[in-house]
Structure 1
Amino acid sequence: MRIGVKGFQGARLTQARAARGMTQTALAKASGISCPSISKWERGEQMPEFAALEKVAEALSLPTTWFLQPLPDYGNGTYFFRSNSSLAAAGRAIARTRLEWLHELSLCIQEWIAWPELTLPKPLERSDALGLTDSEIEALAMQCRELWRLGTGPIEDVIKAVEAAGVITTREALGYMKMDGVSRWFERDGRPYMFISADKTSAVRNRFDVAHELGHILMHAGLTQEDEEQHHNELERQAHLFASAFLMPAESVAGALNYPTLDTLLTLKKKWKVSIGALIMRAKSLDLIDDAYSTRLWKNYSARGWRKGEPLDDTLEAEKPFLMPRAVKMLLDQGGFSKPVFMDTTGFTATDIERLCSLPEGFMSNQPAKIIELNAPVFRKGANSPAPSTQGKVLQLNQHKK
């Protein structure tokens, strides 16, 4: 009697399909394994034979050993999506799973690398979050700036500011233009994580997405998934206002946004690195322009064809995460890991590590690695490492200097 691969985890197969955006039918077609068999594997009613598992693993671009790893307990944190309401469920499932994989990879890296200490305003309790006023949101945005010593001017690099405060981020293209991002706190390490879609070509819109997710992290951590679903539109509005206030402090932009022209807004876009559309909405939210003037600006905005793409969108460079790629390079350079050992230790493929860690395509598969220069790390005892040269010590990742 054939009993299949012992230790197979059906939940891992379900998750892997979600990460690749594949239905059971699509996976069956790609692998040559029947849809009923795949369904039984996922439900735990049957275990695949090795040859069949190899076909499925190949179709999903994952090693067969991936499906022997138990699915971690991700906790009960709430997922906040910055996405168009018409986004297909598949797009959300991909982003959610990629965020979970980022967390898994981060936990593995934390065996040897110490992330920056969290430096965030205290997250709000549920009762406070549901009763937030606009003035309180404006104040929270300024509190965050003051805590991070960002001043009241334009923020040079929003992702670096967020990561220097201990938020782990990734930026990756999904193939869904309507997906902007997703974030949540994970109880396992008591740290927030952020996924930002790289499908947009506009760097300024990506900056706004990061600030928007930061708003969710600070304001809505105490809310449940049911709260998110019930109050989705209001929570999105609050996160949008936080992002506007964080990127464009009222005291600094008010003078320039008092009945501006589109050419004035274009100049401000270059300075503040936010979209012209966001500047118009900021001016309206601060009551610096009335409804009639706002409508006039939007009509002229459309007449210039800017709804399809604004000036400077193709010249401003997109910001990229630095914590994850620096950590991987540090482990390869100073931690005694080879690329094959690192992949075997984490369980992820070269492509998934490259995408989750914002590394160049082919970085994990090409030898030798081009390693960045880092200052001497600070060591502390207590971690387990398969790499002999690490001596069981933790590397202290240098924080970005603001």
Structure 2
Amino acid sequence: MPTGVAEFNGDRLKEAREARALTGVTLAELTGVGRPSLSQYEHGTRAPSPDVLERIARALNLPVSFFMHPSRSAPGETLFFRSKSASTKTARAREQRRFDWHVDIASLLQAHVMFPSVNFPVFDDLPDDPSRLTDDDIDRLALAVRSFWGLGEEPVGSVVEILERNGTIVSRYELGVDSLDAYSGWRDGVPHVILGADKGSAARSRFDAAHELGHLVLHSKVTPTTWMRSEVLKQLEAQAHFFASAFLLPAQTFSSDVTIPTLESFLALKPTWRASVAAMIRRAAWLRLIDNEQERRLWIARSRRGWNTREPFDDELDVEKPRLLSAAFRLAFEAHKFSIGQLRVSLPYSLADIEYLSGLPEGYLTGAEDLGLLRPLEPTEHERPRILSFPTDRRS
């Protein structure tokens, strides 16, 4: 039988270590606790003493209560990462844990604030086997999603806002690994998207959001086991990429804008379509607006201009940022739906983690705690959840 803190849960120690992207050796160095002891704690064969648990909690910047919570049940849904290479294994493990925390935050807020309903089209003819999807199928599906959401075929505004309006919970923060641009998944019927805030230009981030939309629409039936197969992952990524291109650059309207397929003409279209020149070259090639030789010359010319890492207008287009989670927190606090103390009980993470994963300004929660401004307000029997009005984006 384990000794020490009886309520300690070793699964939560492993979760915390992975969420901080730490090895057992590194955590041992940070805490002064032997690696064998930490391993025993994680496997549940021993429990730490209160003093040791305090040291572990401080090192991982988490409240002691975090390590008392029950184990999570394994989700059946797939998280769509762009790489499963050994070099991203630690980062993927960290993001899987962060994703769980992100879902917990959203679930708490949804209990107090009425978010937009999930409004995704259901395609009855979508094959269970994604390998049966053709480029033409995906092009048609991207247009169908636009039609379902009433977007027409003109350039759309913020893709992030479109996702949020239709029930997607979106977060944006630094992922810290070059090969992880963004990821997404369904949880209990709710779509979630995580965007990397350290991934360069607005056009690239916008394309990432459309790419993740592609996964949510096309690959909801893909199991984690199927995703782990390298040949399947490569195909799923290509399909989501193609979906993003078709969603952002609809064939008919984009083709009519490409009168002369030169770098200058594509660059002139960038502020309107908010897509990179690279994305427009690929789309133009698929639409046969340019032949293979023209495409080759465009890539060479683009490279010679130094646009492989950064294109013109990248610093002028606004990055599309999620707003629902932070707005929901503000609304819940203004309505006194819960106190910081209640928040700590419901979400056993550091306030800094909650701020970071929710897009709140640094110090928003800790500042409120220090001032003692938030207090609980018991809901009446007839009280309904507050409805979260979506801020209007007046950009075209």
TM-score (norm 2): 0.91
Distance in 1, Cα, partners of 2:242 & 2:258: 16
Q: How does 1:3-402 map to 2 (within 5 A)?
A: 3-83=3-83, 87-122=87-122, 127=128, 129-187=130-188, 190-230=189-229, 231-257=232-258, 260-367=261-368, 387-391=376-380, 393=383, 394-399=385-390
1:123–1:219 CA contact under 8 A, matched in 2:
no
Contact conserved, 1:95 with 1:181, CA < 8 A, in 2?
no
Mean alpha-carbon deviation: is it higher for 93-102 or for 258-267?
A: 258-267
The CA deviation at 1:268 is: 1.3
Q: How far did 1:229 drift?
A: 2.4
In 2, Cα distance between equivalents of 1:296 and 1:249: 24
Q: Is the 8 A contact 1:82 1:213 kept in 2?
A: no
C-alpha separation in 2, matches of 1:96 and 1:214: 18
Contact 1:160 1:321 in 2 (8 A): yes
> How far apart in 1 are the matches of 2:114 and 2:74?
20
Distance between the aligned counterparts of 1:288 and 1:68, measured in 2?
60
Q: Which runs of 5+ in 2 are unaligned?
A: none
Relative to structure 1, the CA distance from residue 263 to residue 2 in structure 2 (aligned partners, 3 Å threshold; closer, same or farther) is closer
Distance (Å, rounded) in 2 between the aligned partners of 1:275 and 1:178: 19
- Check whether the contact 2:285–2:291 (CA below 8 A) recurs between aligned residues: yes
Deviation string for 1:235-288 (max 9, x for gaps)?
111100100011111111113335511111111111111111111111111111
- 1:2 Cα deviation after fit: 8.7
| Residue 400 of structure 1: how far off its partner (Å) | 5.3
Structure 1 residue 291 displacement after superposition: 1.3
Tell me the SS of whatever aligns to 1:240: helix
Distance 1:53 1:221 in 2: 40
For 1:311 and 1:335, locate their aligned partners in 2 and report how far apart those are by CA, in whole Å: 46
> In structure 2, what is the Cα distance between the partners aligned to 1:369 and 1:330?
19
User: Distance between the aligned counterparts of 1:139 and 1:252, measured in 2?
Assistant: 14
Q: What is the deviation of 1:297? A: 0.6
Cα deviation, 1:42-79, whole Å, max 9, x if unaligned, reads 11111011111111111111111111111332421011
Counterpart CA distance in 1 for 2:224 and 2:163 is 24
- Alpha carbons 2:182, 2:196 under 8 Å: kept: yes
Residue of structure 2 equivalent to 1:373: none
CA distance in 2, matches of 1:140, 1:105: 32
Unpaired segments ≥5 residues, structure 1: 371-385
Q: Give aligned pairs, total.
A: 385
Name the CA shift for 1:86/1:262 in 2 (closer, same or farther; >3 Å).
farther
1:216 deviation in Å? 0.5
Identity %: 37
Deviations 1:152-187 (A, max 9, x none): 122211101001100111111022122111111113
C-alpha RMSD over aligned residues = 2.2
Aligned equivalents of 2:267 and 2:58: distance in 1? 49
- CA distance in 1 between counterparts of 2:282 and 2:192 reads 28
- In the superposition, the TM-score normalised over structure 1's length comes to 0.90
SS at match of 1:195: strand
Checking the alignment, whether the CA contact within 8 Å between 1:79 and 1:184 is kept in structure 2 is yes
In structure 1, C-alpha distance between the alignment counterparts of 2:295 and 2:257, rounded to whole Å: 15
Q: Is the 8 A contact 2:2 2:47 kept in 1?
A: no
Are the structure 2 counterparts of residues 345 and 100 from structure 1 closer, same or farther at C-alpha, using a change threshold of 3 Å?
closer
